[in-house]
């Protein structure tokens, strides 16, 4: 459980906790929900945490064996936190394992879809994956997904520009969530 990791004496868990904490703090920024149109629901918040965890894991994979090990620890903390959250929401003990397995499967699917979307620098793949996963059939899904894709690309670049040693030390800086809709920008010109 996450409480063991938070209150335990193990120094080796401080870095992955710091990385996960940074991802969660960024995912909770009001701009994503107010300007970015992300639904302020349990599902919407999971999507934003998943996005930021995916960004951190992408960067950690480039740090060799040490980065992959750190990435696994971040992943474990993420799903320990999801387990705790489900329990706090009143999900029965017998259902938690099934829900966690489903969330993990969804997370891996998103990780793969977002990685594929990053391969085509300006292509629609990342925005399409975000529209499907984050927005569904919501009004303005395409516009919001395009803005969120642009943010993800900026955040990914920000993480790429940071020395891997800093990230392995638990220090990450995400790009600011500039999520203005394209038509709003055109009207201001």
Helix or strand run (H / E) with residue 188: helix 182-188
Cα distance between residue 140 and residue 136, in whole Å = 10
pLDDT, mean of each 10-residue run, the chain (189 residues): 49 86 96 94 92 96 94 94 84 80 90 93 89 88 93 96 95 86 42
pLDDT score, position 91:
77
Going by C-alpha positions, the residue among 22, 65, 25, 51 that lies closest to residue 170 is: 22
Q: What is the pTM of this model?
A: 0.85
123 secondary structure, DSSP code: S
Local structure of residue 13 (DSSP, 8 states): G
Structure tokens at 32: 């994503």
Tokens describing residue 38? 């992300």
CA distance 20 to 73: 9
d(CA 155, CA 152): 5
C-alpha span between 23 and 51 (Å, rounded): 9
């Amino acid at each position: 459980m996450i409480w063991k990791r938070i209150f335990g004496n193990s120094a080796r868990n401080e870095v992955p906790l710091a990385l996960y904490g940074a991802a969660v703090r960024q995912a909770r920024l009001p701009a994503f929900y107010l300007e970015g149109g992300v639904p302020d629901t349990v599902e919407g918040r999971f999507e934003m945490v998943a996005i930021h965890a995916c960004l951190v894991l992408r960067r950690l994979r480039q740090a060799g064996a040490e980065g992959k090990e750190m990435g696994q620890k971040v992943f474990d903390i993420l799903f320990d936190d999801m387990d705790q959250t489900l329990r706090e929401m009143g999900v029965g003990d017998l259902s938690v394992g099934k829900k966690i397995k489903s969330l993990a499967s969804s997370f891996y699917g998103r990780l793969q879809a977002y990685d594929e979307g990053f391969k085509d620098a300006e292509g629609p793949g990342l925005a399409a994956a975000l529209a499907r996963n984050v927005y569904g059939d919501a009004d303005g899904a395409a516009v919001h997904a395009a803005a969120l894709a642009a943010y993800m690309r900026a955040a990914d670049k920000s993480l790429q520009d940071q020395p891997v040693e800093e990230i392995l030390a638990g220090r990450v800086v995400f790009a600011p969530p500039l999520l203005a809709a394209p038509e709003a920008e055109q009207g201001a010109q």
